[in-house]
Amino acid sequence: MQVNIRKVGIFYLGFVLLALLAIGQIVNLQFIHKPGRSYTAKTVREDVLPCTRGSILADDGRYLAFSIPEYRMGMDCVQPDSSVFAQGIDSLAICLANFYKDKKAAQYKKEIVDRRKEGLGGGRRYMFLNRKLLTYQEMKEVSSFPILREGRARGGRDEVKVDHRTYPYGRLGFRTLGYIKDQSEIPTIGIEGSCDTILRGTDGLRPMRLTEGRNWIVDTDKETIQPIDGLDVQLTLDIDMQDMAQNALISVLSKTNEVHAGTVVVMEVATGEIKAMVNLEKDGKGGFDETYNYAIGRKGEPGSVFKGATLTTLLEDKKVTLDTEIKAVVTWNYGGGQPFVDHYLDRYSTISVKRGYEISSNNVFRMLAVRYYGDKPKEFLDKLTNERRITKDFPFELKGMASANVKDPDQNTGRAAWNMKDLPQIAMGYTVEITPLHTLNFYNAIANEGVMMRPHLVRNYQKEGTIIQEFKPETLGTVCSPETAHEVWKAMRGVVESEGGTGYRVFKGCPVGVAGKTGTARIVFPHNGKYQDAAGHKMHQATFVGFFPSDAPKYSMIAVVYSEPTFGNFYGATWCGPVFRQVAEQIYASSIDWQEPLPRTGSLPEADSYKQLQAREDLQRGVVPDVTGMGLREAIALLEKAGYRVNFEGHGVVAAQVPAAGDSIRTQTIALKLKEKYIHDPQ
């Protein structure tokens, strides 16, 4: 037999090449290849398990902000095996078309089949079946469709959870609450921003690995890290008071084109809890919106409301009493240059300190400050900051709190150099810059018999109703003795009760006793640093601050209105007194008494209202429950737990429902219409 030398040579050469390839692979595995560098990256992954952002609650537990979990249904079109896919694709397409009602069944089938072919060829294999976000009940329904009901491993089903942030009361308290659309955002304003780390929670991680059949499965050899939902944040805000304050401010802003913005803050005297914080600005479209937090971010010269700190200092140092009489000087020459003029004094020869406060005489407080502290202005300024604490900053939960600013008598050079006229000007509210919340906090301390509380918005952090961390009322020190505080009460009551007082006409006949102080200050134009522009326009900050009931203070409040450039004058009593009175009257009318409500007794669950209990009984009887008047979250939780699918439109509380309450249950869908119960447009 003749041997083919050529064939043997080719065979031998091939054998040598295979041997060299094997040796090369051994060398690569032994010395070059690093396990995990490429192989691991392609065969393992970590899926994010999203957490749910915590809710923001009002003081009575009503939801101010919460996240509704919604779902987008996706599908790995390669994952189902051939038999499952072939048997179910037609039925799946029909179910999707009937459910979403945006495409025909043939179009759904074509898109899924095309994506499967693409994926089998090494291309894209995943698709969202529809971009519509689904409720939990809708997600469960779609999950029961053919192929998808086989689950993730056999059917390729993949529901993606998306938390949608909902604000039941719309823009009410927008700057105080803050705002986000979904959890991927990082908020910067309001409680959403300042408490973001508390509300956000921590996403979980689920390790996955790729099988030899190219299927992704949970890697049971590694630990799954479960998501940790964010904590709920309960605030001190009272929704009803917030609504009262907003409507009262709107009623003033809508009266004229000469005002453009304002703020109202209501504080509980004994605790420092902020019960309402409204900041409104005209939006240029005939409406109003919360675009800036004037209460904490806008500092400026407060005007005559600052006289309360001057009066307290004079009384506490026993320099004067309310009955002390001084000469009434209309034109006072002091420090050279333009004299200080006070036309309110032209009807007096002498005037008491109390009467000077009631009519808000500038010269009375200018002269008293110079008489007793003219040779030691540093002492007076130190008392304002460290004893009265009106120019002392304090920690607050919201970002953007402006720092108080007051001149230093030791500063001798530059634009901030001390001038001898600065002392009398500070005494009546100029040459000093503070925010409305600084002013309110001082007067709240006067109402609290000299004890200053730290203003606060956050009451506690909680999880599923269990308090994790509670924030108790915190004192910042005393501003004066109780005796001095009560003397200031008298002077403040005189402002609204004594004929001729700056608040007398506004508060005459008010059903609730009020103690207060008016104030008006010009605002410096930023472009020229002067109190008027080239055309002679002026801008004003008008204020009314005080507390009620005047004989046993429970709430303190400040209302501030900012004018547009104008030739007219603005006064705290005219523009802010009506706001204060309207809110005080409504709070008074809505309170049976000024005491704390009695604790609940019996078996009624603390978190449930009577209407919620009645709704549950309706469900047991097989009739549609009445959820009108409930917040959206309470209504959804109750209805979806009973197996209903819920559709809703609008913001606020449930104003209407279809089917109506009491109907026999014939449907699995209940439609809710929401109404912003606590926001009313001006008539």
The pLDDT tens digits for 511-520 are 999 999 999 9
Residue 55: strand, helix, or coil = coil
Per residue in 230-248, pLDDT (tens digit) is 999 999 999 999 999 999 9
Q: How far apart are the first and last CA of the chain?
A: 115
Conformation bin of residue 356: beta by default, left when phi > 0, alpha when psi is -120 to 50: alpha
What's 623's DSSP letter?
B
User: For position 350, what pLDDT does the model report?
Assistant: 98
Q: What is the largest distance, in Å, between two alpha-carbon atoms of the chain? A: 148
**Rounded to the nearest 10 degrees, how much is the dihedral formed by the CA atoms of 668, 670, 671, 673?**
-170
> Burial letters for 5-25: b for 16+ Cβ neighbours within 10 Å, e otherwise?
eeeeeeeeeeeeeeeeeeeee
Average pLDDT over every residue of 97-114? 96
User: For position 610, what pLDDT does the model report?
Assistant: 43
Neighbour-count burial of 26, counting CB atoms closer than 10 A to its CB (0-12 exposed, 13-18 middle, 19+ buried): exposed
The number of C-alpha atoms within 13 Å of 356 and in the hemisphere containing its C-beta is 30
Q: Which two tokens stand for residue 482?
A: 């109780």
- pLDDT over 70 (residue 38): no
User: For position 131, what pLDDT does the model report?
Assistant: 87
Indicate the pairing of strand 458-463 with strand 232-235: antiparallel
More confident residue, 228 or 5: 228
- pLDDT over 60 (residue 616): no
User: For position 502, what pLDDT does the model report?
Assistant: 96
User: For position 230, what pLDDT does the model report?
Assistant: 95
* Band (8; pLDDT cuts 50, 70, 90): low
Per residue in 47-88, pLDDT (tens digit) is 888 899 999 999 999 999 999 888 899 999 999 999 999 999
Average pLDDT over every residue of 110-130? 92
Which of 205-209, 267-271, 395-399 shows the lowest mean pLDDT across its residues? Answer: 205-209
Share of the chain above pLDDT 70, in %: 87
Average pLDDT over every residue of 602-617? 45
Phi/psi of residue 348, nearest 5 degrees: -120, 150
How far is Cα 56 from Cα 234, in angstroms, rounded to an integer?
6
* Band (601; pLDDT cuts 50, 70, 90): very low
More confident residue, 219 or 469: 469
Mean pLDDT rounded to a whole number for the chain: 87
Conformation bin of residue 500: beta by default, left when phi > 0, alpha when psi is -120 to 50: left
- pLDDT over 50 (residue 680): no
User: For position 416, what pLDDT does the model report?
Assistant: 85
Distances (CA, A) of 522 to 19, 298, 530: 95, 14, 10
User: For position 599, what pLDDT does the model report?
Assistant: 40
User: For position 224, what pLDDT does the model report?
Assistant: 92
Neighbours of 65 (CB within 10 A): 27
- pLDDT over 50 (residue 137): yes
Strand partners, 209: 44, 217
Which of 170-179, 297-306, 446-455 shows the lowest mean pLDDT across its residues? Answer: 170-179
Which residue in the block uniquely carries the two structure tokens 């094997």?
A: 22
How far is Cα 208 from Cα 224, in angstroms, rounded to an integer?
9
* Band (573; pLDDT cuts 50, 70, 90): confident
CB 623, CB 662: distance < 8 Å: yes
Average pLDDT over every residue of 477-503? 97
Q: Choose which CATH entry (3.40.50.2300, 3.40.710.10, 3.40.50.1820, 3.40.50.10800) describes domain 239-590.
A: 3.40.710.10
Per residue in 636-658, pLDDT (tens digit) is 767 776 777 777 776 667 888 88
* Band (229; pLDDT cuts 50, 70, 90): very high
Residues, the chain, total? 683
Q: Which two tokens stand for residue 125?
A: 């294999």
Nearest to residue 479, comparing CAs of 454, 442, 432, 427? 442
CB 189, CB 399: distance < 8 Å: yes
Average pLDDT over every residue of 548-576? 91
Q: Which two tokens stand for residue 146?
A: 């053919």
More confident residue, 629 or 156: 156
3-state secondary structure 580-591: HHHHHHHHHHHC
- pLDDT over 80 (residue 341): yes
- pLDDT over 70 (residue 41): no
Note if the pTM is more than 0.75: yes
Strand partners, 7: none
Share of the chain above pLDDT 90, in %: 61
User: For position 609, what pLDDT does the model report?
Assistant: 44
- pLDDT over 70 (residue 597): no
User: For position 604, what pLDDT does the model report?
Assistant: 31
How far is Cα 494 from Cα 307, in angstroms, rounded to an integer?
14
Q: Which two tokens stand for residue 471?
A: 């924030």
Nearest to residue 214, comparing CAs of 156, 301, 289? 156
Strand partners, 276: 266
The vertex-614 CA angle with 646 and 621, nearest 5°, equals: 75
* Band (287; pLDDT cuts 50, 70, 90): confident
Per residue in 433-445, pLDDT (tens digit) is 999 999 999 999 9
E-assigned strands of 213-361? 216-218, 232-235, 259-268, 274-282, 288-289, 325-327, 331-332, 340-341, 350-352
Q: Choose which CATH entry (3.20.20.70, 2.40.10.350, 3.60.20.10, 3.30.10.20) describes domain 610-675.
A: 3.30.10.20
Average pLDDT over every residue of 280-306? 93
User: For position 39, what pLDDT does the model report?
Assistant: 40
With both helix axes pointing from N to C terminus, report the angle between 362-373 and 307-316 in degrees, rounded to the nearest 10: 40
Average pLDDT over every residue of 406-420? 90
Domain regions of the chain by residue span: 46-235, 239-590, 610-675
What's 303's DSSP letter?
G
CB 288, CB 171: distance < 8 Å: no
* Band (257; pLDDT cuts 50, 70, 90): confident
Reported as type and span, the H/E element at residue 475 is: strand 475-478
Q: Choose which CATH entry (2.50.20.10, 3.30.70.3340, 2.130.10.10, 3.90.1310.10) describes domain 46-235.
A: 3.90.1310.10
Neighbour-count burial of 32, counting CB atoms closer than 10 A to its CB (0-12 exposed, 13-18 middle, 19+ buried): exposed
How far is Cα 522 from Cα 525, in angstroms, rounded to an integer?
9
* Band (184; pLDDT cuts 50, 70, 90): confident
